[in-house]
Structure 1
Amino acid sequence: MSAPPVDSVRAEDAPGGVRWSVVPLLRRLHFYAGVLVAPFLVVAAVSGLLYALSPQLDDVLYGDLLEVSSTAGTPRGVAEQVAAAQGAVPDGSVTSVLISDDPEETTRVVFAAPGLGEEYAKTVYVDPYSARVQGQLTTWFGSTPATTWLDGLHRNLNLGETGRLYSELAASWLWVISLAGVVLWLVRQKRLRAAVVPEKGAKGVRRTRSWHGSLGIWTLVGALFLSATGLTWSTYAGENFAAALVALNAKAPVLDTALPGSASSGQTGHGDHGGGQGQGTIDVAAFDRVFTTARTAGLDGPVEISVGEPGSAWTAAQVDNTWPVRLDKVAVDPATASVTARADFADRPLLAKLSSLGIQAHMGRLFGIVNQIALFLLATAILTLIVLGYRMWWQRRPTRADRRRPLGAAPKRGAWQQLPLWFLVPAPLVLIAVGWAIPLLGVSLVAFLVLDGVVGLVRARA
């Protein structure tokens, strides 16, 4: 949420008023953070909204590959479909096969191919009723080129690891801006009803501020959710979150793919493009055996079969991320079709479950179209808040001829001098903890404080 303007007269700022208050600090923090971070939030909101709509975009762009023309007949065996796909990519190695439970969707056979690297793969789309190859695409962890581009735009502006700083910076500050804005609005309104409903009959900056504050109240929970889930897979804060899960023994259990009597172990999971046995050594009939075993083991819905390393079990995993989710996995010996290990979603620690569900909701997948509509409304609300915030900044500009300015004045410096002791004493420890957990927030805050101090010193001397 972009920053509200500074009031010309406030009790906590006026002589004889309430001197000890955190409100002036929150007002200054909300203003500058809103003004400086809002452009990053605009990009994140727009790109995130487009990514959430990628399933519909895929249907438009790649419908001839993703969907079958006719559902007449009985689906062919998985082995026959894989064999047909191998003919389309003779120099590739099969790494996984995704069998959908939707009768109108094609089977997706994924190949590791020369020149694509570890993250990209060649995906062949096969009609399950005729075993006819409908086409192929270069995919990124199963995503189509359009979805891959939108994901990269939202994640890193398609600039690689350096670009990821933008999205982490936006997620790091979103919760700070949101909470500070809501506190400021509640302090101003004092009554909940007045805070959640825009003021009737208000005009000018008062009307803009009323809509900005009320909309911010309604958007708070969604903004906090986007900030928290976005940080879990960010570069620096994400690493700290992962380390915390390990320390709390809250990581999802690893599926052991070691065969009985073998010393090797590992995990072959959803989205794995490497580590296959190589096309020449794969017994294609093993796909039928593994798939049948997975169904017998209770894995309904869409199932992805991943080829294991030589001497290791293959993995069959549910990949249904729509609520109620189906995300169980089994390791299957491809030769004997026996289950050697199992990892069910129900057995994951609570934090691991919440992390997985939160990410899927952030992506707009968890609740289907309802999830997409919610993200659309949330993104629209955030963009509206930013526009209203900048509008207030412009509306507060001095218009008198002798002191006219293009924008309103920023909150005055020295707000820290009004902080009460109960806030000032623990503040450094809290800032250190937050800065460690969310490094980009800490670094950018320190950089702003240093720059602001230097500017203040120069102006004072002038």
Structure 2
Amino acid sequence: MTTCTSRAAWVNLLRRLHFYIGLFVGPFIFIAALSGTLYVATPQLESALYHDALYGTLTGEHQPLAEQVAVAERVTGGTLRLHAVRPGLINGETTRVMFADPQLGVSENRAIFIDPVTLAVKGDMTVYGTSGILPLRQTIDYLHRSLLLGDAGRLYSELAASWMWIAALGGIALWWFTRPKRRINNRVQNSRRLHVSLGWVLLAGMLLFSATGLTWSQWAGGNVDKMRAALGWMTPQVNTQLHGAAEPADPHAEHHAHHEHHEGMTMPMAESDADSVQYDEVLQVARQAGI
């Protein structure tokens, strides 16, 4: 009797933990899944939402890249430091000229979109990173990482990722200890079987989601970065500084690469004497090299 009572107590405790953890991590799972789905569709969404800024004249002779940069500098009043230039990959795409603006956040830049044929200004907006990630994609990324709540959201997402694997494995353990000896067809048991089936199907995904969520989180992710740095697992970074100083490894390089995949070639500008750079020569050499 004591053994049965003790087991029942543990099962009840496990059931309550499973229920309350599910309530806690449920909103995070839903928003992460929704934002992840939206992220997959961002190329199509961006093409429709920012069509005027992304596309210009389809045919015609391209003006020198230096002139396109000069037009963008006139738009900003010539007071901002040139950060990077991203020419269009195909005919009809605009050139993205990015400037470092002290009024913007970390890794954010002001981008002027120039029609390479007519030199018309097609857009002016805040972008992210050297590839010029557009506001929609960055908003979805912030929603995915922090629920648009800043550090509080990142703390919640990290806690949710920390407890998600407990909820997943706890659900399997709960099923094992409370599975009925014979099949009963009623509303409660049918709902329970559906819940268990979904749990088994989603188990691997939830465990992977928990592990990767902690990897990219603010605090646990920092510890993972230290471990990767100690083991030499950091992604090599190209040094774009003219003075030759070593470029520190970016602990979230894969994350940026995921954003910038298929975004085209971007030419980062050195902090010193940017006006002396021969933009068109650099572009020609890079394309000849297959970049």
Q: Give your verdict on TM over 0.5.
A: yes
Question: How far did 1:95 drift?
Answer: 0.5
Alignment match, 1:448: none
Structure 2 gap ranges (5+): 251-255, 261-265
**Corresponding residue pairs, total:** 273
Give 1:74-223 correspondences, 5 Å limit.
74-90=61-77, 91-141=79-129, 142-185=132-175, 202-223=185-206
Q: CA deviation at 1:219?
A: 1.7
Asked whether the 8 Å contact 1:26–1:180 carries over to 2, the reply is yes
SS at 2:60 equivalent: coil
- Correspondence for 1:37: 25
Residue 234 of structure 2 contacts residue 249 of structure 2 at CA under 8 Å; is this kept in 1?
no
Instruction: Give the Cα separation in 2 of the matches to 1:290 and 1:117.
Output: 29
- 1:264–1:229 Cα change, 3 Å: same
Superposed CA deviations along residues 116-169 of structure 1, whole A, max 9, x for unmatched, are 354332101122333332121122333333333333333223332233111112
1:236 paired with 2:236, answer no
Question: What secondary structure sits across from 1:163 in the alignment?
Answer: helix
Question: How many Å separate the matches in 2 of 1:285 and 1:252?
Answer: 28
CA 1:31–1:119 in structure 2 vs 1: closer, same or farther (change >3 Å)?
same
Distance 1:102 1:86, change over 3 A: same
- 1:119/1:254 Cα in 2 relative to 1: closer, same or farther (>3 Å)? closer
1:38 aligns to what SS in structure 2?
helix
Distance 2:68 2:52 in 1: 17
- CA RMSD of superposed structures (Å): 3.7
Q: Secondary structure at the match of 1:128?
A: coil
State which of 228, 233, 258 in structure 2 corresponds to 1:250: 233
Matches within 5 A, 1:306-321: none
Shift in Å, 1:54? 3.6
The answer to whether the 8 A contact 1:84-1:131 is kept is yes
After the TM superposition, which residues 62-461 of structure 1 pair with which residues of structure 2 at under 5 Å, given as runs? 62-68=50-56, 70-90=57-77, 91-141=79-129, 142-185=132-175, 202-257=185-240, 264-266=245-247, 276-277=270-271, 281-283=273-275, 285-299=277-291
What is the Cα deviation at residue 25 of structure 1? 6.1
Change (3 A) 1:179 1:56: farther
Of residues 287-296 and 164-173 in structure 1, the stretch that sits farther from structure 2 once superposed is 287-296
Q: Distance in 1 between matches of 2:166 and 2:213?
A: 14
| Distance in 1 (alpha carbons) for counterparts of 2:47 and 2:201 | 33
What residue identity is the alignment partner of 1:265? A
CA drift at 1:14: 3.6
Taking structure 1 as reference, are residues 228 and 127 closer, same or farther at Cα in structure 2, changes over 3 Å only? farther
Report sequence identity in percent: 40
| 2:109–2:126 contact (8 Å) kept in structure 1 | yes
Cα contact 1:120–1:139 (8 A) shared by 2: yes
CA distance in 1, matches of 2:277, 2:106: 26
- State the Cα deviation string for residues 182-226 of structure 1 (Å, max 9, x = none): 344466669xxxxxxxx9x94312111111111222222222332
Q: In the superposition, relative to structure 1, how do residues 136 and 258 fare at CA in structure 2: closer, same or farther (>3 Å)?
A: closer
In structure 2, distance between residues paired with 1:265 and 1:248? 19
Partner secondary structure for residue 176 of structure 1? helix
Q: Is the 8 Å Cα contact of residues 95 and 111 (structure 1) preserved in structure 2? A: yes
3-state SS, counterpart of residue 137 of structure 1: strand
| Superimposed CA distance per residue, residues 331-351 of structure 1 (whole angstroms, 9 cap, x where no aligned partner) | xxxxxxxxxxxxxxxxxxxxx
1:171–1:227 CA contact under 8 A, matched in 2: yes
Higher helix share: 2
Give distance in 2, aligned partners of 1:187 and 1:129.
Answer: 70
Residues 220-275 of structure 1, C-alpha deviations (whole Å, 9 max, x = no match): 2222332222222211110111011012111112334465xx56333699789x98
Larger Rg: 1
Per the normalisation by structure 1, the TM-score is 0.50
Work out the CA distance in 2 between the residues paired with 1:79 and 1:214: 61
